[in-house]
Amino acid sequence: MVPLSWYLTLGAVLFVIGIAGVLLRRNVLIVLLSLELMLNSVNINLVAFSNTLGGYQGQIIAIFVITITAAEVAIALGILVVLMRNNATLEVDEVTILKG
Amino acid sequence: MEQAFFLFVAVVATASGLAVVMARNPIHSALALIVCFVQVAAVFLLLRAPLLAVIQMFVYVGAVIILFLFVIMMLDVRKEIRTPFLKRWTAVAVTIVVLLAAEMFALLLLGEQWQTPSFALKSGQMSSVRELSIALFTEFLFPFEIASVILLVALVGAIILTRKETN
């Protein structure tokens, strides 16, 4: 039997890797991919707790997380395509249009 | 047996997660993320959640990453990226990451309640799709409807965002 703490540790490791990607990378596509990794590690935690406590709530919340992620990716990639069309850059530190 | 399988899956997931963050080419990142998501689906199977494993494969691997790959191939990412990592604020970012990691692992490794036997995972059958869907359509009906509205908004929003101005 795999103990619960192993699943939580795997989730924490993936979350830390994802947050390192979000904070350190320059390419906005890789930042978005790291964001997906973080959302997935949260899903691991939710399903692990759902299995341990013997309910369905965790799995259902994980389904909602996946749904919202799909919507977020569609909007984010749309914004990215428009940004690329107007600005022709993918580097997060060169996108400063909102700065007055 | 199950522990060995979990360890294998966890090692592959961590390695491919590191590859996502370290790769220079966004396409390599996306392909590594596919590997990572398949491992997470295997973890869901180990957790007796077969429906979530299938949704993970369909939605993440089949839709989200493929959408990413389409956009990566549409945009021009071929120009060599000399500095893949941010130049400024690196020390601050590394400090934040290290602090967060230390905090999470301290909580996980020092916390007593994750090791107690009362939290031992139940062995036995997979959780049934039938009971899951009954809960989804009765107890969680309102969030379900809200999620469908959010998906509709995302659909319309993505089309309107990427439409060319016609004036």
CA distances to A30, A37, B16 from B28, in Å = 10, 15, 10
The total domain count for chain A is 1
Q: Which of A6, A18, A45 is nearest to B109 (CA)?
A: A6
Which CATH architecture does the domain made up of B1-80 adopt? Up-down Bundle (1.20)
Question: pLDDT, tens digit, for every residue of B10-34?
Answer: 999 999 999 999 988 889 999 999 9
Burial class (CB in 10 A: 0-12, 13-18, 19+), B82: exposed
User: How would DSSP label each residue in A28-85?
Assistant: HHHHHHHHHHHHHHHHHHHHHHHHHHT-SHHHHHHHHHHHHHHHHHHHHHHHHHHHHH
Q: CB contact, 8 Å: B11 with chain A?
A: no
Question: pLDDT, tens digit, for every residue of B85-129?
Answer: 777 778 888 999 999 999 888 888 887 766 654 444 555 566 678
| Structure confidence at residue B93 (pLDDT) | 87
CB distance B43 to B27 below 8 Å:
no
Question: pLDDT, tens digit, for every residue of B42-51?
Answer: 999 998 888 9
Residues with Cβ < 8 Å from B21, sequence gap 6 or more?
A17, A18, A20, A21, A24, A25, A30, A34, B29
| Structure confidence at residue B118 (pLDDT) | 45
In a domain, A99, yes or no: no
Question: pLDDT, tens digit, for every residue of B45-80?
Answer: 998 888 999 999 999 999 999 999 998 888 876 665
Q: CB contact, 8 Å: A79 with chain B?
A: yes
Among A13, A44, A75, beta carbon nearest to B43: A44
Strand, coil or helix: what is A91?
A: strand
Enumerate the domain spans of chain B. 1-80, 128-167
Closest-CA distance of chain B to residue A84, Å: 7
Strand, coil or helix: what is A27?
A: strand
What Rg do the C-alpha atoms of chain A give, in angstroms? 17
| Structure confidence at residue B115 (pLDDT) | 62
Distance separating alpha carbons of residues B104 and A5, to the nearest angstrom: 12
| Structure confidence at residue A57 (pLDDT) | 85
Range of the domain at A55: 4-94
pLDDT at residue B131 greater than cutoff 60: yes
Q: CB contact, 8 Å: A65 with chain B?
A: no
Among B68, B121, B143, beta carbon nearest to A52: B121
- pLDDT > 90 fraction of chain B, expressed in percent and rounded: 50
Please tell me which residue, B132 or A54, carries the higher pLDDT value: B132
What is the number of residues in chain A? 100
CB contacts of A90 in chain B (<8 Å) are 75, 77
What CATH number should be reported for the domain holding residue A19? Answer: 1.10.287.3510
What is the number of residues in chain B? 167
| Structure confidence at residue A41 (pLDDT) | 95
- Residue numbers in chain A where pLDDT is lower than 50: none
| Structure confidence at residue A83 (pLDDT) | 84
In a domain, A100, yes or no: no
A17 and B17 within 8 Å at the Cβ level: the answer is yes
Question: pLDDT, tens digit, for every residue of A6-22?
Answer: 899 999 999 999 999 99
In a domain, A35, yes or no: yes
Strand, coil or helix: what is B77?
A: coil
